Each structure stands twice: as C-alpha cells, then as structure tokens.
Structure 1
Amino acid sequence: MRTPPAAVTVLCAGAFVLLAVLVTGRHGTPFPLDRDALDWSLRHRPDRWAGVARAVTDTGTGVFPYACAVLAGLLAARHGTRRQALGAAAGALAFLLAGQALRYGVMSALARPRPPVADWATHASAFSFPSGHASTSALMAGLLIWAVARRGRTAAVYALCALIACWAVAVGLTRIYLGVHWATDVLGGWLFAGAWIGLGAVLIPAGRLLPPPRRRAGGR
C-alpha cells in the first residue's frame, strides 16, 4: 500500500517542527547524539577517508544539484512535446530553488551554531540547522526518483531509485563525518526535504503537467 503524499508531508513537517523547537530550546547546545556522532567521526577519520567524504559531499552543492533538477524534468517529460519537456525542467528547477529559499530562511531564523571549527575537515559557512547539503541532495534525489519512477515498476527502476536514495543519504552522513554539522542538523535536512517533496506531490500532481508514462508493449 502506498503512503499518500499528504501523510508524508504531515509526518515529515510535524517531525521537523518538533525537532526545530527542541533545537531552539537548547540554545545551541548539542544533543548527546550529536556529541557521540562527532566524537566517533573524529576517532575514525583518516586522511584518505576524509578525502573520499569531501568528494561525496561536494556533489551536494554547487551547480550539480540544479543541473540534476533540470535533467529530472527533462527525463520525466521525455515522451512529451518540446514545450512540455522545457516546462517540466523549469518546474523542477523552480521547485528546488523554492525549497532552498525556504530552508535558508528557516536556517537564518534558528541560527544554530555549527560544531567547533577545530573539528572541521572541510569548508562550511552560515548556520547549521537544517543541513543545506542534506536537504539539497535529498530534494535532488526526490526529483530524480520521481523522473526515473515514471519508467514503470521494474527491477532496474527500483535498483536505480535505491541507488539515488543511498547517494543522498551518503551526502548527509559526510556532513557529520567531516565535522561541519551535528547529526540532528542532517536529520532536520532530511525531514525538511521530505516535507517539501510531499507538499509538491500534493499541490502539483504530475498528471496535470506531464504526458502519461509510456507503457511497455504487452504491459498492463
């Protein structure tokens, strides 16, 4: 049974608001989970693995996420007209940009400090909650999964969607591993992205914007 997008939105948004209230109430003091995750990272961060983590974390920022959003729109409308494809690409990009703007506003309002600079293994800027890399990569993954899933329910589609989701999780985890975010920052980024994706699915049904997915010959 599929979970309705509205339920996903309510659950993620409610959990995000609760976490944000708890974070704010501690006035920047990290949770025990945050300290434990950072301590573990510092004890298990040799240079070679820090380099791998930086390479992964870099895919969650810059031009790459926005290029992938455009690609997701083009893939989703690949069986439609040129106008539909361009509209889907622009819509996917606008969806990501709007989510980023809202996240930045929330982050600035809460103004949670990052972990100590001495523990950082990469560059970071602005405040900490919710994690920008975690939310951006999760939003991008959601758009890509939406586009890929329109190909149908096949083993290859499921495998690719799982791979995309694992990549987004990996980006978020690298932020903890590199010492630039608390674990609850990353959790907040994922919850924010889940709420935004769910809201998009509720308010912008794909059937109104895109051609129906092409069915395989002999399929039902």
Structure 2
Amino acid sequence: MPVKHSQHLLREAAGTFLAVHAGSEIAVGGLLVSTVAVAAGWGLRNRMPGWAAASLRVAGLVSAIVVLACQARGAGWLTGVDRSVTMWLADHRNPTVDALALTVTNGFGPIVTTGLTAAFGLLVGMRSRSILNGLVIVCTVGGASLLCWLIKLVVERPRPPLLIQVTPETDFSFPSGHVTGAAALFGILAVIVGMVGSRLATLVIGAVGVLTVSAVALSRLYLGVHWLTDVLASVLLAAVVLMFAAALLPTMRVLPSALSPANNAAEKPY
C-alpha cells in the first residue's frame, strides 16, 4: 500500500508539473505569436493594404488579451508574476506614497473619467462645429469601458486579498476599469490631434497620456486592488478600441477642417 500510495502521489505531482509546464508554454507561445502579429502589422504597413496591416495588429492585440484572460481565469503561470509584483509593492509602502497613489486613482475613477470624457467631447464638438466629433470621443471611451465590464463578468477574477488593499474593492479584477478609461480617453485625444493638429501638439498629448496612464496603472498596483496582468490587459483593450476608432474616423468624415488651425486661419475675414 505505501508503494502504491507513493506511486499515486508521484503521478499526481508529474501531472501537475506537466499541466503547469504546458500552460506556461502555451502562454509564452501565445504572447510570442501576438507580438509577431503586431510587429508585422506595423512593420509592413507600407507594403500591404491598410486593412490587412490593421487586421494583423488587432488580431495580435486581441490574442494577447485572450492569453492574459485565460491565465487570469485559470490561475495560470503568469499569475505567479502577479503575486510577486503585488507582494513586493505591499512590502514597500509608506504613508506619503499611499496618499499620492490614492490621489491619482481617485482622480481617474469612473466618475471623473466620465466627466472628462463628456467635457472633452463637448469641447471638440463645439470647436469643430460637429456633434459627431464629440461622439467619437464619448463612444470610444464608453465602448472601451463597456468591453472592460463584459470581460470582468466573463473572467470573474478575484481582487488581491483585502488584507493587502489600501482601499477595499471587492468586484472582479480583470481588467482594470481605471486604466482602460484613462488609456482610451487620452488615446482618442492623441489620435484626433494627430490627424488634424501639429506634430508638437500630438507629441505633447501623447506624452501626457503615457505619463497619466502609467501613473494610474502604478497606483492601482501599489494600492493592491489590481494584479499586473489586469493593467496590462487594460492597455491592450484600449489599444484595440482605439485602432477601430482611428480606422473609422476618416471613413465617417468626422474630422472637418474646422479642427485644423490652418483652415481656421483661412476662414478668418481680412
């Protein structure tokens, strides 16, 4: 009996090892394929039809989100990295950084992001004399947030333990709504400015967006309310929505000349 019991335990251990090992290989392979698809779609954008290059990039981003979602739902290999990052941050907290992280995360919560989206949408709509321009911003951020909520319901990933959370949150964790909203908002602003504004303005709004989204993501990790893969998936999700928005903007002709400084100058009476 002891020998049979030992053999049974050995088989279970071997099965667990193979399952984890296979899961890690699938995850790494999936992320590698995703990276290659995105890189190919970007690098070959001038050598293939625009829709084909965009499709490659979207497929790569979506597949990466699927890999992260499967890992999050099934407590896969990547979740070990999540735990390590979360525990390291929890062990290196101090009151000053706590207050700063709370300020950042509250500054880009759902209510504030909704208000900023409405304000920017109204501003762009009035500036361009077209309600469609404002709706592009609202629909982009709203669509990204809706997809984020639906993915949360599908993946059903628990938050980090309440004991390590600075501000308690108990709803589903994957992906992060804060990061998704911030990335979608600043992303669509950068896309619009890039289409009709100067290069300097595009660089400025892009830099502000990167810094803001990074700060929000770090604050969510630091406060112990999200895992690393949550915020990574949020950025990828926002990128997918932004690619669709960027593709639709020229087709919908919702960027009239009223947004262009050069054309505005041409309209002034002399």
TM-score, normalization: structure 2? 0.70
Give ranges in structure 1 of 5+ residues lacking alignment.
none
In 2 relative to 1, CA 193–158 (structure 1 residues): closer, same or farther, beyond 3 Å?
Answer: same
Q: Which has the higher helix share?
A: 2
Residues 14-53 of structure 1: pairs in structure 2 closer than 5 A: 14-26=63-75, 31-53=79-101
1:182 equivalent in alignment to 2:227: yes
Question: C-alpha offsets along residues 11-69 of structure 1, whole Å, 9 cap, x if unaligned?
Answer: 22121112112222327x87221112112211221011011001001122133212322
Name which one, 1 or 2, has greater alpha-carbon Rg.
2
CA–CA separation in structure 2 for the residues paired with 1:9 and 1:71:
29
Q: Which residue among 110, 128, 131 is the counterpart of 1:62?
A: 110
- Is the Cα contact below 8 Å between 1:148 and 1:161 reproduced in 2? no
Residues 108-147 of structure 1: pairs in structure 2 closer than 5 A: 108-147=153-192
CA–CA separation in structure 2 for the residues paired with 1:80 and 1:159:
21
2:128 counterpart SS class? coil
- Is the Cα contact below 8 Å between 2:191 and 2:246 reproduced in 1? no
Letter in 2 for 1:174: S
In 2 relative to 1, CA 208–195 (structure 1 residues): closer, same or farther, beyond 3 Å?
Answer: same
1:101 equivalent in alignment to 2:146: yes
- Is the Cα contact below 8 Å between 1:71 and 1:89 reproduced in 2? no
2:137 — aligned with what?
A: 92
Q: Which residue among 196, 204, 208 is the counterpart of 2:253?
A: 208
Q: Which moved more, 1:87-96 or 1:101-110?
A: 87-96
Residues 153-172 of structure 1: pairs in structure 2 closer than 5 A: 153-172=198-217
Question: C-alpha offsets along residues 56-90 of structure 1, whole Å, 9 cap, x if unaligned?
Answer: 01122133212322343345455532xx0x33223
Letter in 1 for 2:94: P
Letter in 1 for 2:95: D
- Is the Cα contact below 8 Å between 1:92 and 1:143 reproduced in 2? yes
Q: Which residue among 197, 204, 215 is the counterpart of 2:242?
A: 197
- Is the Cα contact below 8 Å between 1:24 and 1:112 reproduced in 2? yes
Q: Which runs of 4+ in 1 moved over 6 A?
A: none
2:48 — aligned with what?
A: none
Higher relative contact order (CA 8 A, sep 6+): 1
- Is the Cα contact below 8 Å between 1:41 and 1:176 reproduced in 2? yes
Shift of 1:10: 2.3
- Is the Cα contact below 8 Å between 1:72 and 1:147 reproduced in 2? no
In 2 relative to 1, CA 68–149 (structure 1 residues): closer, same or farther, beyond 3 Å?
Answer: farther
1:31 counterpart SS class? helix
In 2 relative to 1, CA 207–90 (structure 1 residues): closer, same or farther, beyond 3 Å?
Answer: closer
Letter in 1 for 2:102: R
CA–CA separation in structure 2 for the residues paired with 1:177 and 1:190:
17
Q: Which moved more, 1:68-77 or 1:131-140?
A: 68-77
- Is the Cα contact below 8 Å between 2:136 and 2:245 reproduced in 1? no
Query: Over aligned residues, Cα RMSD in angstroms?
Result: 2.6
Give ranges in structure 2 of 5+ residues lacking alignment.
1-41, 46-52, 264-270
Shift of 1:103: 1.4
Identical-pair percentage: 28
CA–CA separation in structure 1 for the residues paired with 2:248 and 2:66:
20
2:182 counterpart SS class? helix
